[in-house]
Amino acid sequence: MSALFAPYTLRSLTLPNRVWMAPMCQYSAEATGPAAGVPQDWHFAHLAARAVGGTGLIITEATAVSPEGRISPFDLGIWNDTQVEAFSRINRFLASQGTPRGIQLAHAGRKASTDKPWNGGGPVGPENDGWQPVAPSAVPFAEGHLVPTELTVDQIREIVGQFGAAATRAAAAGFQVAEIHGAHGYLIHQFLSPHSNHRTDAYGGSFENRIRFSVEVVDAVRAAFPADLPVFFRVSATDWLDEGGWTADDSVRLADLLVDHGVDLFDVSSGGNAAGVRIPLKPGYQVPFAARIKAETRMPVAAVGLITESDQAEKIVANGEADAVLLARELLRDPNFARRAAADLGASVPTPSQYLRAF
């Protein structure tokens, strides 16, 4: 019996296998007008292909809780009903394939208002549909990036409310998992890390103060999302800095605390908050962080990062290093990874009737 293809239950949701799709921005929405942030045909085709391929959970790309929370003008959002209707159409198809649906709720903070990566990914100003980014502190991400406006306490509370409202809309759109994006140098991560958080009020300084925003967002999302459905939290386990950053020890502390606030699983990544950091990339390079959180806390975990082979994914789950694996680039290369891995491991995933002749 393959561990990778054993079902997994969180709250009332049973996921058919442990091969999950990580959020990956497509930068393919309209930037302005009534279609701003609205999923398009590209998003439908992109997500539907992975559902047909047998993926056990599909999590949409980082979806902004406000227009200013987008990484780029071309990102998805869930701040209005038009976006909800478009997501509902996609989710109806995923549901028809028996595929659980997740959404990653996000705010980019100081990394907002940037161009598409294939256009260089640099900052864009109002003349190119950009805007003024905000952050815990007026510290830019890197040289050449916009200096963000430091958030007031009232603005922080407003953003917390936006996360809660987005969770309500996510449920209305048919999502079964709400993942809070606390990683990769975006707003929540910016509050967590002393590298980017230089505040001296209740939201900065001590560990307890720096996690305050995260806890408030979690509480808002948990209160707004159905109680019988799971909430995930994506964390960058480390900033990969020798000093002055968020650490693996901090991630362990945060994971154990957020269990008591209703988080059901940590999606464990790393990096993204400090420019120019060298990360020792190799197959499964982030798995040890997930394994440590799983071993030292009460939090279930999913591992992500250069997981590309069936046997590799199987061993991660079978060895108890993670409860599931999240694939990103490998699922771009092969939308049918789950189906191929199942065949490799002597398991199976459902086949659409239209494709039975091929199997």
Q: Token digits for 193?
A: 């890390």
Coil/strand/helix, residue 192: helix
Q: Which residue has the tokens 């440590």?
A: 292
Phi, psi of 45 (to 5 degrees): -65, -40
Contact criterion met (CB below 8 Å) for 62 and 186: yes
Q: Which residue has the tokens 């995930």?
A: 232
What is the distance between the alpha carbons of residues 45 and 199, in angstroms, rounded to a whole number? 43
Show the CA angle centred on residue 249, arms to residues 244 and 253, nearest 5°. Answer: 115
Q: Give the containing element (helix H, strand E) for 153.
A: helix 153-172
The catalytic position among 8, 27, 186, 203 is 186
Which amino acid belongs to residue 269? S
From the centroid of its chain, how far is CA 314?
Answer: 22
What is the distance between the alpha carbons of residues 268 and 109, in angstroms, rounded to a whole number? 20
355 annotated active-site: no
- Residues with a catalytic annotation lie at 186
